[in-house]
Amino acid sequence: MSKEAKLIYGDGSFQVLERGDYVLCAVTEKRIPLNELKYWSVDRQEAYFDADSSLKGEISNSN
């Protein structure tokens, strides 16, 4: 059974607070396996599935 991880997102790396297999994309709500996590916002402390999701998150939070 897989479990959602709890992370602190930093500049270029993240710290695991609670172990798990994945995090959820803040835009698409897709599961992102930790070994595939490449996009996140340090300021908003949220993960993104891909570059497109990251851009959409940035745009929606700038309004």
Q: pLDDT, tens digit, for every residue of 11-32?
A: 999 999 999 999 999 999 999 9
Q: Quote the CA–CA distance of 23 and 48 in Å, as a whole number.
A: 9
Give a yes or no: residue 1 inside a domain. no
How confident is the model over 30-52, as a mean pLDDT? 97
**44 in a structural domain:** yes
Q: By the 8 A CB rule, do 40 and 48 touch?
A: yes
Whether 17 and 23 have beta carbons less than 8 Å apart is answered as: no
Residue 60 has what pLDDT? 86
**For the residues 32-43, what does the mean pLDDT come to?**
97
Range of the domain at 11: 6-62
Q: How many domains does the chain have?
A: 1
Residue 1: the pLDDT is 62
Angstrom CA distances, 12 to 2, 22, 40, 60, stand at 25, 18, 9, 23
pLDDT of residue 61: 81
CA atoms within 13 A on the CB side of 36: 13
